[in-house]
Amino acid sequence: MTLRSGGGHAWLIVPPATLALGALTSFGQTYRPDAIAPLFNSATSWSVIAFVAAFAAKRPSRAALLGAASFAMLLVGYYATSSLRGYPVGLTTTTIWIAATVVVGPVLGASAAWFRSAPRGRRDVRGWLAVVPLGSIAMGEAVYGILVISDTTSVAYWWTQLALGAAFVVVAPALRARRNAA
């Protein structure tokens, strides 16, 4: 089954898939190698999931809804699983992620649609702008990781995330423009 834009297939697949990924995040925080521990406690991880999930919709309005739905289901999956496993669910953290669901989810979703459907070619401004939100989240969180929490998490992880975020912003639109120019 493919995720056709305009069809309802994405709505059948994305919510349960992101719910499961949210649940896996809870387990990943407990059972993972130390080198990738931040992966399971990272805004970037969920942002990548929302961006990729929203890629299934071509129209920015539908993609924005898929981005928000992805964040919401990640949140429900994570907190439900954590609660069932006996871990406390804090109101402050939950509130922050609800805000991300409402604000960041739609932005990432619309960005995914822009990247997917922007006019082709090197002068494709929308395609270049579409990668900025996800790249900025990755780079911003990496800088925070390096400056603030590198004493408790792998600084190598944060440098890698910074490099990947920057590479995404520069390379993804360039590859898209080059591929479509040929």
Q: Report yes or no on 2 lying in a domain.
A: no
pLDDT at 128: 84
What is the pLDDT, as a whole number, of residue 3? Answer: 47
Could you say which residues of the chain have pLDDT below 50?
A: 1-5
Question: Who contacts 130 (Cβ-Cβ below 8 Å, separation ≥6)?
Answer: 111, 112, 114, 115, 118, 173
pLDDT of residue 177: 66
Whether 146 maps to a domain, the answer reads yes
User: From CA 160, how far away is CA 33, in angstroms rounded?
Assistant: 16
| 35 in any annotated domain | yes
| Residue 63 amino acid letter | A
- Report the number of distinct structural domains present in the chain: 1
3 within some domain: no
| Domain region containing 22 | 9-181
User: Is 105 a domain residue?
Assistant: yes
Residue 33 and residue 28: Cα distance in Å, rounded?
A: 9
In a domain, 1, yes or no: no
Q: What is the pLDDT of residue 117?
A: 81
Is residue 4 situated within a structural domain?
no
Q: In this structure, is residue 77 part of a structural domain?
A: yes
Q: Which residues of 79-90 are buried (b: 16+ CB within 10 A; e: fewer)?
A: bebbeeeeeeee
- pLDDT given for residue 179 in this prediction: 57
From 66, 61, 48, select the one nearest 10 (Cα to Cα).
66
Name the pTM for this structure.
0.88
Quote the pLDDT of residue 154: 86
Q: What's the mean pLDDT when you consider all of the chain? A: 88
Amino acid 109: pLDDT: 96
Give the pLDDT of residue 148: 95
